[in-house]
Structure 1
Amino acid sequence: MSMLQDFKTFALRGNVIDMAVGIIIGVAFGKIVSSFVNDVIMPPIGVMLGGVNFTNLAVVIQQETATQAEVLIRYGAFIQTIIDFLIIALAVFAGITAMNSMKKKEEAKPDTPAPVPEEVVLLREIRDAVKK
Protein backbone atom coordinates (compact mmCIF):
# COMPACT_ATOMS: atom_id res chain seq x y z
CA MET A 1 0.00 0.00 0.00
CA SER A 2 2.92 2.33 0.63
CA MET A 3 4.00 2.13 -3.00
CA LEU A 4 0.54 3.22 -4.13
CA GLN A 5 0.61 6.13 -1.69
CA ASP A 6 4.08 7.16 -2.91
CA PHE A 7 2.91 7.05 -6.53
CA LYS A 8 -0.16 9.12 -5.68
CA THR A 9 2.03 11.74 -3.97
CA PHE A 10 4.37 11.78 -6.98
CA ALA A 11 1.59 11.99 -9.56
CA LEU A 12 -0.25 14.79 -7.80
CA ARG A 13 2.86 16.90 -7.29
CA GLY A 14 2.73 20.14 -9.27
CA ASN A 15 5.76 19.37 -11.44
CA VAL A 16 4.25 16.20 -12.91
CA ILE A 17 0.98 17.91 -13.73
CA ASP A 18 2.82 20.88 -15.24
CA MET A 19 4.88 18.48 -17.33
CA ALA A 20 1.76 16.66 -18.55
CA VAL A 21 0.13 19.95 -19.54
CA GLY A 22 3.34 20.96 -21.33
CA ILE A 23 3.41 17.71 -23.29
CA ILE A 24 -0.23 18.04 -24.33
CA ILE A 25 0.29 21.63 -25.46
CA GLY A 26 3.51 20.60 -27.22
CA VAL A 27 1.71 17.91 -29.22
CA ALA A 28 -1.01 20.36 -30.22
CA PHE A 29 1.63 22.95 -31.16
CA GLY A 30 3.40 20.33 -33.26
CA LYS A 31 0.20 19.72 -35.22
CA ILE A 32 -0.21 23.45 -35.82
CA VAL A 33 3.37 23.75 -37.05
CA SER A 34 2.98 20.70 -39.30
CA SER A 35 -0.13 22.20 -40.84
CA PHE A 36 1.63 25.55 -41.26
CA VAL A 37 4.56 23.90 -43.03
CA ASN A 38 2.45 21.55 -45.18
CA ASP A 39 -0.32 23.98 -46.08
CA VAL A 40 1.36 27.40 -46.10
CA ILE A 41 5.13 27.15 -46.52
CA MET A 42 5.67 24.12 -48.75
CA PRO A 43 3.21 24.93 -51.59
CA PRO A 44 4.99 28.19 -52.56
CA ILE A 45 8.37 26.48 -52.27
CA GLY A 46 7.09 23.68 -54.47
CA VAL A 47 5.86 26.21 -57.06
CA MET A 48 9.23 27.99 -57.01
CA LEU A 49 10.92 24.64 -57.64
CA GLY A 50 8.71 23.89 -60.61
CA GLY A 51 5.61 22.40 -59.02
CA VAL A 52 7.39 19.85 -56.81
CA ASN A 53 5.36 18.40 -53.96
CA PHE A 54 7.95 17.38 -51.38
CA THR A 55 5.78 14.77 -49.68
CA ASN A 56 5.55 12.78 -52.92
CA LEU A 57 9.30 12.71 -53.59
CA ALA A 58 10.60 9.16 -53.31
CA VAL A 59 13.02 6.68 -54.76
CA VAL A 60 11.55 3.35 -55.83
CA ILE A 61 13.68 0.49 -54.56
CA GLN A 62 11.40 -2.28 -55.75
CA GLN A 63 8.49 -2.05 -58.17
CA GLU A 64 5.11 -3.35 -57.14
CA THR A 65 4.42 -6.91 -58.21
CA ALA A 66 1.41 -9.16 -57.89
CA THR A 67 2.77 -10.59 -54.64
CA GLN A 68 4.71 -7.67 -53.19
CA ALA A 69 3.99 -4.00 -52.48
CA GLU A 70 6.17 -1.23 -53.86
CA VAL A 71 9.18 -0.36 -51.68
CA LEU A 72 10.07 3.36 -51.49
CA ILE A 73 12.55 5.63 -49.81
CA ARG A 74 10.36 8.65 -49.12
CA TYR A 75 12.97 11.37 -48.82
CA GLY A 76 10.38 14.10 -49.52
CA ALA A 77 8.52 13.27 -46.30
CA PHE A 78 11.87 13.34 -44.52
CA ILE A 79 12.61 16.84 -45.90
CA GLN A 80 9.15 17.92 -44.76
CA THR A 81 9.82 16.58 -41.25
CA ILE A 82 13.15 18.42 -41.08
CA ILE A 83 11.44 21.69 -42.02
CA ASP A 84 8.77 21.03 -39.35
CA PHE A 85 11.51 20.47 -36.78
CA LEU A 86 13.39 23.64 -37.74
CA ILE A 87 10.25 25.76 -37.42
CA ILE A 88 9.35 24.20 -34.05
CA ALA A 89 12.93 24.70 -32.82
CA LEU A 90 12.86 28.33 -33.96
CA ALA A 91 9.53 28.94 -32.20
CA VAL A 92 10.74 27.31 -28.98
CA PHE A 93 13.99 29.31 -29.16
CA ALA A 94 12.04 32.55 -29.65
CA GLY A 95 9.74 31.72 -26.74
CA ILE A 96 12.59 30.88 -24.38
CA THR A 97 14.52 33.97 -25.44
CA ALA A 98 11.46 36.14 -24.76
CA MET A 99 10.93 34.53 -21.34
CA ASN A 100 14.61 34.99 -20.42
CA SER A 101 14.44 38.62 -21.51
CA MET A 102 11.38 39.24 -19.34
CA LYS A 103 13.07 37.46 -16.44
CA LYS A 104 16.19 39.66 -16.79
CA LYS A 105 14.05 42.80 -16.86
CA GLU A 106 12.25 41.64 -13.72
CA GLU A 107 15.55 40.94 -11.95
CA ALA A 108 17.00 44.29 -13.07
CA LYS A 109 14.22 46.31 -11.45
CA PRO A 110 15.60 48.18 -8.46
CA ASP A 111 14.27 46.99 -5.15
CA THR A 112 12.44 50.00 -3.78
CA PRO A 113 11.79 49.71 -0.10
CA ALA A 114 8.19 49.73 0.98
CA PRO A 115 7.02 53.05 2.41
CA VAL A 116 7.35 53.22 6.17
CA PRO A 117 3.97 53.41 7.91
CA GLU A 118 3.18 56.71 9.59
CA GLU A 119 2.92 55.08 13.02
CA VAL A 120 6.48 53.77 12.74
CA VAL A 121 7.78 57.22 11.79
CA LEU A 122 5.97 58.72 14.75
CA LEU A 123 7.35 56.07 17.12
CA ARG A 124 10.88 56.71 15.83
CA GLU A 125 10.50 60.44 16.44
CA ILE A 126 9.29 59.77 19.96
CA ARG A 127 12.21 57.40 20.58
CA ASP A 128 14.71 59.95 19.31
CA ALA A 129 13.12 62.70 21.45
CA VAL A 130 13.34 60.48 24.54
CA LYS A 131 17.01 59.73 23.87
CA LYS A 132 17.81 63.46 23.82
Structure 2
Amino acid sequence: MPTIFKALLAAPLTAIAFGLGALSDASAGADTDAAETPVSSSVMEQGEALYLKNCRLCHGSKGTSGKPLAGNEMLEDADYVASVILVGPGYMASFAEHLSDDEIAMIVTYVRNSWGHAHGPMAASDVAELR
Protein backbone atom coordinates (compact mmCIF):
# COMPACT_ATOMS: atom_id res chain seq x y z
CA MET A 1 0.00 0.00 0.00
CA PRO A 2 1.48 3.42 -0.94
CA THR A 3 2.71 5.55 1.97
CA ILE A 4 0.25 8.33 1.17
CA PHE A 5 -2.72 6.01 1.70
CA LYS A 6 -1.23 4.63 4.92
CA ALA A 7 -1.02 8.19 6.27
CA LEU A 8 -4.63 8.90 5.35
CA LEU A 9 -5.84 5.65 6.90
CA ALA A 10 -3.86 6.27 10.08
CA ALA A 11 -5.26 9.78 10.56
CA PRO A 12 -8.63 8.72 12.08
CA LEU A 13 -6.77 6.51 14.54
CA THR A 14 -4.56 9.45 15.46
CA ALA A 15 -7.64 11.57 16.06
CA ILE A 16 -9.12 8.88 18.31
CA ALA A 17 -5.86 8.68 20.22
CA PHE A 18 -5.93 12.44 20.77
CA GLY A 19 -9.49 12.24 22.02
CA LEU A 20 -8.67 9.48 24.47
CA GLY A 21 -5.42 11.05 25.59
CA ALA A 22 -3.59 7.90 24.56
CA LEU A 23 -0.63 9.40 22.76
CA SER A 24 2.70 8.25 24.04
CA ASP A 25 5.22 10.61 25.59
CA ALA A 26 7.55 9.85 22.68
CA SER A 27 5.17 11.23 20.07
CA ALA A 28 4.41 14.27 22.21
CA GLY A 29 8.15 14.89 22.45
CA ALA A 30 8.51 14.64 18.68
CA ASP A 31 5.96 17.44 18.20
CA THR A 32 7.73 19.55 20.82
CA ASP A 33 11.00 19.12 18.91
CA ALA A 34 9.31 20.19 15.66
CA ALA A 35 7.79 23.23 17.33
CA GLU A 36 11.24 24.21 18.61
CA THR A 37 12.63 24.15 15.06
CA PRO A 38 12.50 27.73 13.81
CA VAL A 39 10.50 28.51 10.70
CA SER A 40 12.05 31.15 8.47
CA SER A 41 10.01 34.23 7.68
CA SER A 42 10.77 33.66 3.99
CA VAL A 43 9.16 30.21 4.05
CA MET A 44 6.16 31.60 5.94
CA GLU A 45 5.76 34.41 3.38
CA GLN A 46 6.03 32.02 0.43
CA GLY A 47 3.72 29.53 2.15
CA GLU A 48 1.16 32.25 2.79
CA ALA A 49 1.23 33.36 -0.86
CA LEU A 50 0.74 29.76 -2.02
CA TYR A 51 -2.01 29.20 0.55
CA LEU A 52 -3.85 32.35 -0.55
CA LYS A 53 -3.57 31.31 -4.21
CA ASN A 54 -4.55 27.64 -3.77
CA CYS A 55 -6.42 27.18 -0.49
CA ARG A 56 -8.14 30.43 0.47
CA LEU A 57 -11.20 29.85 -1.69
CA CYS A 58 -12.32 26.93 0.49
CA HIS A 59 -10.51 27.47 3.81
CA GLY A 60 -10.66 31.27 3.94
CA SER A 61 -7.91 33.82 4.50
CA LYS A 62 -7.73 33.02 8.20
CA GLY A 63 -8.28 29.25 7.95
CA THR A 64 -11.80 29.45 9.39
CA SER A 65 -14.02 28.56 6.41
CA GLY A 66 -15.08 25.18 5.04
CA LYS A 67 -13.06 22.58 6.92
CA PRO A 68 -11.45 24.94 9.47
CA LEU A 69 -7.67 24.83 9.81
CA ALA A 70 -7.47 27.30 12.69
CA GLY A 71 -7.64 25.27 15.90
CA ASN A 72 -7.58 21.96 14.00
CA GLU A 73 -5.65 19.31 15.99
CA MET A 74 -4.95 17.32 12.81
CA LEU A 75 -2.39 19.97 11.80
CA GLU A 76 -0.02 18.47 14.37
CA ASP A 77 0.69 15.62 11.91
CA ALA A 78 2.65 17.11 8.99
CA ASP A 79 2.46 13.89 6.95
CA TYR A 80 -1.31 13.84 7.28
CA VAL A 81 -1.63 17.48 6.15
CA ALA A 82 0.66 16.90 3.15
CA SER A 83 -1.22 13.70 2.24
CA VAL A 84 -4.53 15.53 2.27
CA ILE A 85 -3.10 18.18 -0.07
CA LEU A 86 -1.68 15.50 -2.37
CA VAL A 87 -4.72 13.21 -2.51
CA GLY A 88 -7.59 15.62 -1.88
CA PRO A 89 -9.90 13.23 -0.05
CA GLY A 90 -13.64 13.78 -0.05
CA TYR A 91 -14.75 17.04 -1.61
CA MET A 92 -11.24 18.53 -1.68
CA ALA A 93 -9.34 18.59 -4.97
CA SER A 94 -5.99 16.83 -5.31
CA PHE A 95 -3.02 19.16 -5.74
CA ALA A 96 -0.43 16.44 -6.49
CA GLU A 97 -0.28 17.34 -10.19
CA HIS A 98 -0.41 21.10 -9.63
CA LEU A 99 2.06 21.78 -6.82
CA SER A 100 5.70 20.78 -6.39
CA ASP A 101 7.08 19.13 -3.26
CA ASP A 102 8.60 22.48 -2.26
CA GLU A 103 5.29 24.29 -2.69
CA ILE A 104 3.35 21.70 -0.69
CA ALA A 105 5.98 21.77 2.07
CA MET A 106 5.70 25.57 2.26
CA ILE A 107 1.89 25.42 2.46
CA VAL A 108 2.06 22.73 5.15
CA THR A 109 4.61 24.76 7.09
CA TYR A 110 2.46 27.88 6.78
CA VAL A 111 -0.80 26.31 7.98
CA ARG A 112 0.97 24.41 10.77
CA ASN A 113 2.45 27.67 12.09
CA SER A 114 -0.45 30.11 11.61
CA TRP A 115 -3.59 30.98 13.54
CA GLY A 116 -2.10 30.03 16.90
CA HIS A 117 -0.40 26.82 15.73
CA ALA A 118 3.34 26.26 16.26
CA HIS A 119 4.26 22.85 14.87
CA GLY A 120 7.49 23.59 13.00
CA PRO A 121 8.49 23.23 9.37
CA MET A 122 8.02 20.44 6.83
CA ALA A 123 10.74 19.56 4.33
CA ALA A 124 10.13 19.04 0.62
CA SER A 125 11.93 15.69 0.92
CA ASP A 126 9.23 14.54 3.37
CA VAL A 127 6.53 15.44 0.82
CA ALA A 128 8.46 13.54 -1.89
CA GLU A 129 8.37 10.41 0.29
CA LEU A 130 4.58 10.67 0.51
CA ARG A 131 4.05 10.86 -3.25
* Shorter-chain TM-score tier: under 0.3
Q: Between Structure 1 and Structure 2, which shows a larger proportion of helix residues?
A: 1
Higher relative contact order (CA 8 A, sep 6+): 2
Structure with higher Rg: it is 1
Q: Between Structure 1 and Structure 2, which shows a larger proportion of strand residues?
A: 1
TM-score by length of 2: 0.23
